[in-house]
C-alpha cells in the first residue's frame, strides 16, 4: 500500500502504499481462481527456490534480497536504488500512524470530511471519523511505502518473516520500483479537493502492486504457505474491526485494491507489464475510468463542474465554504446504495453515465450546515436515472431535495434544517 501522506486526499485512506490484509487475500483468491477473467500476459517463471537443510530458516536479509530479484523479474523493472525495509510490530504500526495522523491530515480537513459524510448519511451522527480511521488502519494495514521519504514498512506480529510478511514485502517493493521509475508523487493523490481523481490514481498504483503480489505469491509461496496466508488474512479480531466500520469507509478502503486490480489486470492481460507502465504517463482521472476501463481507453474525461466562487457571501454573514471536492461515480453509487438503501444494480445504474460533479460543504452561524452536489450526466437518460435514484435517497435524509436545472444536470441540496436547505437552493438559483 502506498503512503498517501498516511491519509491524503478528501477520502482519508491508508498510506498510498499500504497493503490491506483482507484486500490482499481477496486479490490472491480472485487472481488464483481466474475470477477476473482473461488470460494474463506470460509471467516470467521464477527460479525454483531451494531451502537449506530442514529446520534452517532462510536469513531475513537473504529473504528480502531474493524477493527483490523475483519482483524485478516479474514486474520487468530494474531497481535504481536500494530499499531498506523496516519491520514494525502491531503496536509500532499504531504508534507510527497516530504520530503522523494530525500532521498529515489537518484537523479542519478531517472535521469537514466528517461533517460532509454525516450530512450525506454515510457516517453516523455521533461518529468520530479520526477514531474510526485509526482503528481501521491499525487493524488492516500489513505494510506501507512512503514516496515522500522513500521508506518501506512491513508489519509483523511475531517478528518473523512468514508468508504474510513476504507477500507484504513483495507488494511494497513493487511500490518502490513504481516510485523509482514513475515518481509516485506525480500522481497527486494528496490533492485535498480532488478526491475522485485521487482514488482513481491510487487504484492504478495499488492494482499494479496487488497484481504483482498475486503473481509473485503463486510462484514464490508453497501451497502450505498460501494456506497460511489466507488463514492469517481472516484473523477474527481484524475482521471484526473491518466489519464494524461504516460501509462507506470499508468500501473506500478496499476499492483501490479490488477495482484497481481488475483495471490493471485488464491492461496487463492485453499488453503485458509494459502497457501498465505507459498508464503512469497518462493516469486515470476518475473512478468512472476505473469502473469502466473502456472509458479510460477512450479518454472520456470528467466534465468540469464548478461551485460559484461567491457562494458564501450569497448565503450571508458568518457563512463559509469549508470543503469542496469531486465525489465521482464511486461515491455517488455508494451514496445511493448506503444512504438510499437501493439495490446494488439500481445504485450502479443510477451512478453510471456520470459526467462530472462538484460538492461543497457550507457552514454558518449556530452550527448550521449544508451540502450542495452539482452534477452533469452524459445523456438525458443518464440524468433521469440518477435523478430518480437521488430522489429516493434524499427522501431518507431529514432535510434534502433534488433539482433538475437542465436536461443533463441534477443537483442535490442537503441542509441541517429545512430553512437552510431552502436558503442554499435559492442562492444557487435552483428553487423554482
Q: What is the pLDDT of residues 21-40, one digit of tens each?
A: 434 443 444 443 333 333 44
DSSP 365: G
Tell me, yes or no, whether 252 and 340 share the same domain. Answer: no
Domain end call among 296, 323, 358: 296
Please spell the DSSP secondary structure of 3-57, one letter per residue: -STTT-SSS--S-TBPEEHHHHHHHHHHHHTTTT-S-PPPPPPPPPP---STT-P
Across the beta sheet with 400-406, what order do the strands follow? 320-325, 354-363, 369-377, 409-415, 400-406
Let me know whether 249 and 185 are in one domain: yes
Residue 8 lies in a domain: no
CB 31 within 8 A of CB 211: yes
Classify residue 306: in a domain, yes or no: no
Q: What's residue 46's pLDDT?
A: 59
Residues 268 and 323 in one domain: no
Q: Are residues 123 and 224 in the same domain?
A: yes
Q: Are residue 318 and residue 273 in the same domain, yes or no? A: no
DSSP class of 193? T
Q: Based on the structure, what is the number of domains in the chain?
A: 2
Q: Evaluate whether 155 touches 205 at the Cβ level (below 8 Å).
A: no
Per-residue pLDDT at 69:
96
Tell which residue, 146, 189, 173, 374, has the closest CA to residue 284. Answer: 189
- The whole-number pLDDT of residue 140 equals 78
What gap in Å lies between CA 24 and CA 170, rounded to an integer? 12
Q: Which of residues 240, 266, 296 is at a domain's end?
A: 296
Q: What angle do CA 371, 373, 377 make, to 5 degrees?
A: 170
**Model pLDDT, residue 156:** 80
Can you tell me the mean pLDDT for 239-260? 91
pLDDT digit string (tens) for 340-355?
A: 999 999 999 999 999 9
Q: What is the mean pLDDT of residues 295-315?
A: 97
In a domain, 304, yes or no: no
Asked whether residue 274 falls in the same domain as residue 403, the answer is no
Question: What is the pLDDT at residue 34?
Answer: 32
Q: Is residue 9 part of a domain?
A: no
Residues 316 and 290 in one domain: no
pLDDT of residue 194: 94
Q: How sure is the predictor about 247, in pLDDT bands with cuts at 50, 70 and 90? A: very high
pLDDT band for position 371 (50/70/90)? very high
- For residue 325, give its domain range: 311-427
Is 1 part of a structural domain of the chain?
Answer: no
Percent of the chain's residues with pLDDT above 90: 64
Span 130-156, average pLDDT: 86
Cα separation, 289 vs 295, whole angstroms: 5
Strand spans (E) along 125-247: 141-146, 151-155
Say if residue 319 is in the same domain as residue 288: no
Residues 226, 323: one domain? no
CA nearest neighbour of 323 among 11, 3, 14, 16:
11
Q: Is the pLDDT of residue 101 over 70?
A: yes
359 and 271, same structural domain? no
Residues of the chain with pLDDT > 70, as a percent, come to: 85
Does 111 lie in the same domain as 250? Answer: yes
- Per residue in 187-224, pLDDT (tens digit) is 998 888 999 999 999 999 999 999 999 999 988 888 88
Q: Given this model, what pLDDT does residue 48 score?
A: 43
The CA-based angle 300-304-307, given to 5 degrees, is 155
Quote the cell numbers at residue 416.
441541517
Distance CA 267, CA 392 (A): 37
For residue 174, tell me if it sits in a domain.
yes
Q: What is the mean pLDDT of residues 73-102?
A: 88
User: Does the residue 5 lie in any domain?
Assistant: no
**Could you tell me if residue 303 is inside a domain?**
no
Q: Are residues 197 and 53 part of one domain?
A: yes
411's CB contacts (< 8 A; 6+ apart) are: 372, 373, 374, 375, 402, 403, 404, 405, 425, 428, 430
Could you tell me whether strands 85-88 and 151-155 are parallel, antiparallel, or unpaired per DSSP bridges? parallel
Domain boundary among 242, 264, 296: 296
- Residues with Cβ within 8 Å of 240's Cβ and at least 6 positions away in sequence, in order, are none
Global pTM reads 0.89
For the chain, give the number of residues.
432
Contact 171, 143 (CB under 8 A): yes
Strand partners, 152: 85, 145
Amino acid at each position: 500500500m502506498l503512503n498517501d501522506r498516511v491519509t491524503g486526499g478528501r477520502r482519508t485512506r491508508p498510506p498510498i502504499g499500504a497493503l490491506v490484509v483482507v484486500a490482499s487475500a481477496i486479490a490472491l483468491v480472485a487472481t488464483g481462481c481466474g475470477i477476473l477473467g482473461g488470460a494474463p500476459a506470460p509471467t516470467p517463471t521464477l527460479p525454483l527456490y531451494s531451502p537449506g537443510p530442514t529446520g534452517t530458516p532462510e536469513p531475513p536479509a537473504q529473504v528480502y534480497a531474493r524477493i527483490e530479484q523475483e519482483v524485478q523479474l516479474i514486474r520487468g523493472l530494474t531497481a535504481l536504488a536500494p530499499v531498506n525495509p523496516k519491520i514494525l510490530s502491531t503496536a509500532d504500526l499504531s504508534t507510527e500512524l497516530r504520530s503522523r495522523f494530525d500532521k498529515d491530515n489537518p484537523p479542519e480537513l478531517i472535521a469537514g470530511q466528517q461533517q460532509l459524510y454525516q450530512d450525506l448519511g454515510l457516517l453516523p451522527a455521533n461518529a468520530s471519523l479520526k477514531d474510526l480511521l485509526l482503528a481501521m488502519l491499525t487493524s488492516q494495514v500489513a505494510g506501507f511505502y512512503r514516496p515522500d521519504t522513500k521508506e518501506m514498512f512491513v508489519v509483523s506480529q511475531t517478528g518473523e518473516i512468514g508468508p504474510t510478511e513476504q507477500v507484504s514485502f513483495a507488494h511494497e517493493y513493487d511500490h518502490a520500483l513504481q516510485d523509482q521509475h514513475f515518481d509516485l508523487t506525480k500522481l497527486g493523490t494528496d490533492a485535498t479537493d480532488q478526491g475522485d481523481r485521487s482514488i482513481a490514481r491510487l487504484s492504478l498504483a495499488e492494482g499494479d502492486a496487488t497484481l504483482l503480489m498475486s503473481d509473485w505469491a503463486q510462484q514464490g509461496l508453497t501451497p502450505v504457505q498460501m494456506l497460511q496466508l489466507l488463514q492469517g488474512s481472516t484473523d477474527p479480531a481484524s475482521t471484526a474491526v473491518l466489519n464494524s466500520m461504516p460501509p462507506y469507509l470499508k468500501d473506500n478502503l478496499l476499492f483501490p485494491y479490488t477495482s484497481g486490480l481488475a483495471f490493471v489486470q485488464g491492461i496487463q492481460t492485453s499488453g503485458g507489464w509494459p502497457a501498465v507502465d505507459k498508464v503512469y504517463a497518462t493516469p486515470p482521472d476518475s473512478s468512472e475510468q476505473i469502473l469502466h476501463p473502456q472509458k479510460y481507453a477512450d479518454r472520456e474525461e470528467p466534465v468540469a463542474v464548478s461551485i460559484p466562487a461567491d457562494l458564501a457571501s450569497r448565503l450571508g454573514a458568518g457563512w463559509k465554504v469549508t470543503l469542496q471536492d469531486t465525489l465521482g461515480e464511486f461515491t455517488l453509487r455508494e451514496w445511493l446504495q448506503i444512504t438510499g438503501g437501493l439495490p446494488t444494480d439500481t445504485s450502479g445504474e443510477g451512478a453510471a453515465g456520470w459526467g462530472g460533479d462538484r460538492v461543497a460543504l457550507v457552514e454558518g452561524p449556530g452550527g448550521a450546515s449544508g451540502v450542495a452536489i452539482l452534477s452533469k450526466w452524459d445523456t438525458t437518460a443518464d440524468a433521469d436515472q440518477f435523478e430518480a435514484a437521488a430522489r429516493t435517497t434524499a427522501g431518507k435524509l431529514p432535510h434534502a431535495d433534488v433539482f433538475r436545472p437542465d436536461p443533463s444536470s441534477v443537483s442535490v441540496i442537503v441542509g441541517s434544517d429545512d430553512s437552510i436547505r431552502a436558503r442554499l437552493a435559492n442562492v444557487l438559483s435552483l428553487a423554482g
